[in-house]
Structure 1
Amino acid sequence: MIGSPYSPQSFTTCATCCVFAGEIIALGTACIGWYEFQGLPRFTQESWSTTTWFAPTMRVKASKAEAGRGTGLAAAEVLSGPSSEAKATAPTAATAAVAAVAAAAAVAAAAGSRGVGQGDGQAGPRSLLAAEGGQGPDLSPLAQFLIRRSCSCEPPYALAIFLHWFLVVEAQSDELFGEMYTEVLEAYMSTLPDHVHSVITRQHKFAEAISQCQLNAYNTKGNRDVKQKTMSRELEQLAIDKSGYPLPLNPSIVVNGVDPKCKIFQSALYPAAVKFWTAAPETFLTSPRRSSLEKIRSQELQKRHDKAGKLLGEDKLPPPETKGSVKLMIKNGDDVRQDQLIVQLIKVMDPCLKRVGLDLKLTVYGVLATSDKSGLLEFVTAKDGSPSTAIELMDMSIADYLRKFKPDESTESGIKREAMDAFTKSMAGYAVITYLLGVGDRHLGNLMMLPDGRMCHIDFGYIFGDDPKKKFVNPPPFRITKSMVDAMGGQKAEQFQEFCRISMEAYKELRRNAALIMSLLRLMKDAGIEALTVNPEAKFQTVEDRFRLDLNDEEAEQFFMGLILESMSHVGIQVLEGFHNLARILR
C-alpha cells in the first residue's frame, strides 16, 4: 500500500472525486482553501478525530449498525450520526475524513467550483426539519449543512437538483442504509422553497417518463428496428410541458420538447439516443425577489467561489452550447455510477497532467445516474457541435477521416497539424489512463473519433482489470490499432515517436499522483459500484500494481514503452473483435 489512503496530503491536494456519505455522487474540487473561504475550520490530522460532524442524531437500527461496521457504517453516520454503539468509540481519522470530503466536495462540486450562485447560507422559507407537528428526524450537521446550502442556491439550482438525484439513487441502491437516505431525502424535499420543489418534482417526473419510454422499447419483442419504432411511438405520445424542464445533466439548459426520431443502439441493453429541443431559461428558473443586502452577499460569495474554482482548476457550470437541441443517451438496466467514477477520475488526472504542461486533449462527458439501474449520458461532440463517430462504424481509415475533416495540403500527411497533434496527445492520454484504471472491453465501438482530431473512450462497464472476454483471450494492456499507428505515419515516423514520448511522460506524472488517485479509489470501497462488490481490495491492488512504484523514472519509461509494443503486437486482438462483431450480428 502507498502510505495512508487518508493522509492529510491526499485531501489538501486537488481532490476532485466528490464523496457524499462514502458514495460517488458528484464531482468537483475539494481542498483546504475551500474550507477557509467558506468560513469552515481547517481540517487537520487532529481535528479529524473530533466529533464535530458526528453529533448523535437519526439512529440506524442496531442490526444494521452491526452489519455495517467499517466504512459502510461510517458513511451512513456522516448523514445520520452514529448509532449508540458507534458513539461509544471515537471516530477514526478515516471516517472523519470521509465526512470532511463529503461536506466540502458535495457543495464545492455542484456549487462553488461550478459557479452556481448561493444565497447567504440561511435556511429556506420552510423550517429546516419541517415535518408533521413541526418535528422531523434529527439530522447530522453534515446533512443540515447540505440541505441548507441546497435550499439557498440560485437559478439554475444545480446544487439542489444534483443533491436530489444523488439522494434518490442512494435511497434505492443502498440495502443497508436505504431507509436512512430516504429519511434524509424526505427532510430535504420538505425543506425546499416551493418554486425549487416544483422545478425538481417536474424534472424528476419528466426524466422518469423518458426512461420508461426506453424501457418499454427494450421490453418489446423483436429486433432493434422493432424496438426503435416502439421508442419513437412512445416519444410521440409523451406529454411535455412547453414551459420546459432543466436538463438533469446540466440544469443551465432548459428542454421543452423531444424529437421522436430517436435511435436504438445495437447493444445488449438497447440504449436510446434521444434529441431534446432546448429553449432559453423560463420564468420557473427565477427565484423570488431578494433584498439588496442578500444580493450583495450572494455576489460576494460568488466571487469567492469563482476565485477558489480558478485556483483549483475547475470551470464554472458550462452554459448551453447547443443550437436549439441537445442529444442524450437513455440507459436502463445498467448502474452508470461506475461510468461516473471513471469519468471523474479522468477529471482528477487531467489537471494533474496540465500542471506540468501535458494537455492531452482528454474528453469528459456528462453522466448522471437517475436510479440504481438507469441513467443519462451526454453524447460526445466537438466544440462546434459536430458529432463523434465510433471507429468501428467508420467506412474509412483514421488518416482518411482526419484528412476529410481537417485537410491541409501543405503537410506531408495532408492533415492539419493541430488535428494531428490532438489525435496524438489524446491517443497517449487514453493509453495511459485506460491502462492504469484497468478499463476492459475496449472494442472499436467504445473508441470514438471527433472531427477536430481527438480520440476518446466511452462506456466503462468493465474496470479495474475486469473484461468480459478475459476467459477466452487475455486483452492487451490498452487498445492501439494499426490504423491508429498508420495515421501517425507508421512506427518510424516522428509523430509516432512523439506519441511514445508523451505516453511515457504522462505515465511518470500520474505515478507521482498515485497516492491521491488511490485514496479516492479506496473511498469508493462501499459505494455499491458493481466492480467493487467482489474482493475490492484485490481490485485496488490491481490498480496500484500498475503504477509500478518500485521503479525509478527511467525504468518506468522502459516499462511503458514495453506496454506500447505489446499492445501493438497483441495476437489475440482480432479474436476479441470477432467476439464483439458476432454479438452485434446476433442482436
Structure 2
Amino acid sequence: MIEEICKNLSGSALSFYKREFEFFGEITNISGIIRPFPKGKERKKACLEALSKVTLQQGCYLPSNPEAVVLAIDYESGTPMQSAAKAPYLARFKVQRCGISGLEKLAASETHVVDAQSSSVDQHRLAGPERNKSIYWQACIFKVGDDVRQDMLALQVIEMFRNIFQQAGLKLYLAPYRVVATAPGCGVIECVPNSKSRDQIGRQTDITLFEYFLATFGDEQSPQFQEARHNFVVSMAAYSIVSFLLQIKDRHNGNIMINNTGHIIHIDFGFMFESSPGGNLGWEPDIKLTEEMFRVMGGALEAPPFQWFMELCVQGYLAVRPYQEAIISLVSLMLDTRLPCFRGQTIKLLRARFAPLAGEREAANFMLKVVRDSCLNWRGKTYDMLQYYQNQIPY
C-alpha cells in the first residue's frame, strides 16, 4: 500500500513525504540504538549522543501533531524512561502551530521557511519564555516494541466522554492527550503539559498531596487553594467515572499526574477492561480514591467538597448512560485486534456497568455505592505498597 501511494507522489509532495519519514525514522530509531545499553547513566549518555546526530529538516511535523511544524529539537532533553526490557525515551521539540492547511502549503513550497530565527536555538532561548503563543515546546515519548493501540482506544473513549460532559453542561474535566501508532509495535505519546506525576512529587518533596496543595497554592482558605481544590474535584469525578466504566487498572502514582492548576490526570492505559496486573488478579478497586485524595476533598464523608465530588460522579454517570451504545460500538470495533484487554466478555461486562435496566434513581445509587466501596479501599493501598517495594514508586 505504501509503495502504491508513493508511486502517485511527485515533486514537492514526494519531497515532503521523504523529508518527514526520514526525520521520524531517525527519531524513532533512537529507541533501538539505546536498548542494548544498561539502564542509568550509560543509556542516558547513549540517548543524548544519538539525539545529537538527528538533523532537523525544515517543514517536518510530529505524527501526533500534524497542525504544527517542528522548528527545533532540544538536544539536551533526551531522557530514557523506566523500562528494563524496552527502551522508550522522551525528547522535546519546539513547534509552531500553523494548522493542517498551513502545513500543507509549507509542504508544497520548496522554501520550507516558517520562522527565520528558529533554525537554531541557543540554550538561553531554550529556557526563556516564548513571546509568540503559537510557538511552544512539546515533549513526546517514543516507544519501540510496545503496542500503543490500547492507549489510543482508551483516549478515544475518554474524548467521547469529554464531549458528552460538555453537551450536558457539566464542569467535569478530562485531558485526553495524543497517542499515535506509527508502525506495528511503534508509537509516539505526547506528554501532558505543565504536569508532574504523583511519583515525581513524592520523590521531590516527600509530603502528602494535601501538603503539596498547601505549599503550591497557599492556605486552605485562600482563593488560590479553593480554585485548585475545585479543579481537583471536577477532574477526580470525571476520571473516577472513566476508571470505573473502562476498568482502568495499574493506578500507581507514576500513572497519575497533577497539573499546575490542581487537576488530576490519568495516563498509561496498558491495563483496562478485562486485563489487570499480576496475571489479571483484579486486585485494585474500581476507582483509586486514596486517603490523601480524600483529604484534599475535605477529609470527611460529610465535607462539602467530598459531597460535591459524589454528586458530580452521579451527574456524569447519568449523563453518559444514554450514550452507552455509541461507546460500546467504539470498543467493539477493536475486538478483532486481540489486544490484551479483550478476554471474551468485554462487551457484556461493559454493558452491565452502565446498569442498562436500572432507572435513574437506581443508577445513581449504584454509582454512589461504587464510590463508597472505593473510598479508602485497603486493596488500593496495598497495591501502592507493592509498587513501592517492587519499583520504588512513592505513595
TM-score (norm 1): 0.57
In the alignment, structure 1 residue 355 sits paired with structure 2 residue 170: no
Shift of 1:231: 0.7
Q: Match for residue 572 of structure 1? A: 379
Q: Match for residue 504 of structure 1? A: 314
2:147 and 2:181 in contact (8 A); partners too: yes
Cα 1:322–1:374 shift into 2, 3 Å: farther
SS of 1:330's equivalent in the other structure is strand
Aligned-residue CA RMSD (Å): 2.5
Distance in 2 (CA, whole Å) between partners of 1:470 and 1:321 is 47
2:249 and 2:276 in contact (8 A); partners too: yes
In the alignment, structure 1 residue 252 sits paired with structure 2 residue 252: no
Shift of 1:237: 2.2
Match of residue 145, structure 2, among 314, 320, 333: 333
Unaligned runs of 5+ in 1: 1-182, 290-319, 382-386
Shift of 1:402: 3.0
2:275 and 2:340 in contact (8 A); partners too: no
Cα 1:242–1:554 shift into 2, 3 Å: same
Distance in 1 (CA, whole Å) between partners of 2:41 and 2:107 is 45
Shift of 1:563: 1.2
1:399 and 1:487 in contact (8 A); partners too: yes
Name which one, 1 or 2, has greater alpha-carbon Rg.
1
SS of 1:273's equivalent in the other structure is strand
Distance in 2 (CA, whole Å) between partners of 1:252 and 1:473 is 40
Cα 1:431–1:452 shift into 2, 3 Å: same
SS of 2:368's equivalent in the other structure is helix
2:73 and 2:92 in contact (8 A); partners too: yes
Consecutive aligned runs of 4 or more in structure 1 exceeding 4 Å deviation: 279-285, 320-324, 470-473
Distance in 2 (CA, whole Å) between partners of 1:422 and 1:192 is 48
Match of residue 211, structure 1, among 25, 28, 51: 28
Letter in structure 2 aligned against 1:493:
A
In the alignment, structure 1 residue 397 sits paired with structure 2 residue 208: yes
Cα 1:237–1:204 shift into 2, 3 Å: same
Distance in 1 (CA, whole Å) between partners of 2:8 and 2:216 is 52
Shift of 1:470: 5.8
Q: Match for residue 346 of structure 1? A: 158
Letter in structure 1 aligned against 2:229:
M
Aligned residues: 361
Letter in structure 2 aligned against 1:265:
M
Q: Match for residue 363 of structure 2? A: 556
Match of residue 323, structure 2, among 486, 491, 513: 513
Deviations 1:259-285 (A, max 9, x none): 232222223534211012335879984
Alignment map for 1:212-231 (pairs within 5 Å): 212-220=29-37, 222-231=38-47
Shift of 1:210: 1.1
Shift of 1:405: 3.9
Distance in 2 (CA, whole Å) between partners of 1:539 and 1:280 is 39
In the alignment, structure 1 residue 406 sits paired with structure 2 residue 199: no
2:56 and 2:73 in contact (8 A); partners too: no
Cα 1:574–1:419 shift into 2, 3 Å: closer
Q: Match for residue 364 of structure 1? A: 176
1:403 and 1:414 in contact (8 A); partners too: no
**Identity over aligned residues, as a percent?**
26
Unaligned runs of 5+ in 2: 110-131
Deviations 1:16-39 (A, max 9, x none): xxxxxxxxxxxxxxxxxxxxxxxx
Deviations 1:446-475 (A, max 9, x none): 110001111110001111131113655621
1:360 and 1:425 in contact (8 A); partners too: yes
Alignment map for 1:342-491 (pairs within 5 Å): 342-381=154-193, 387-394=194-201, 395=205, 396-407=207-218, 412=221, 415-469=224-278, 474-491=283-300
Shift of 1:226: 2.2
Distance in 2 (CA, whole Å) between partners of 1:378 and 1:466 is 24
Shift of 1:362: 0.7
Cα 1:421–1:324 shift into 2, 3 Å: closer
Distance in 1 (CA, whole Å) between partners of 2:384 and 2:285 is 12
Alignment map for 1:108-147 (pairs within 5 Å): none
1:329 and 1:379 in contact (8 A); partners too: yes
1:426 and 1:454 in contact (8 A); partners too: yes
Q: Match for residue 348 of structure 2? A: 541
In the alignment, structure 1 residue 188 sits paired with structure 2 residue 5: yes
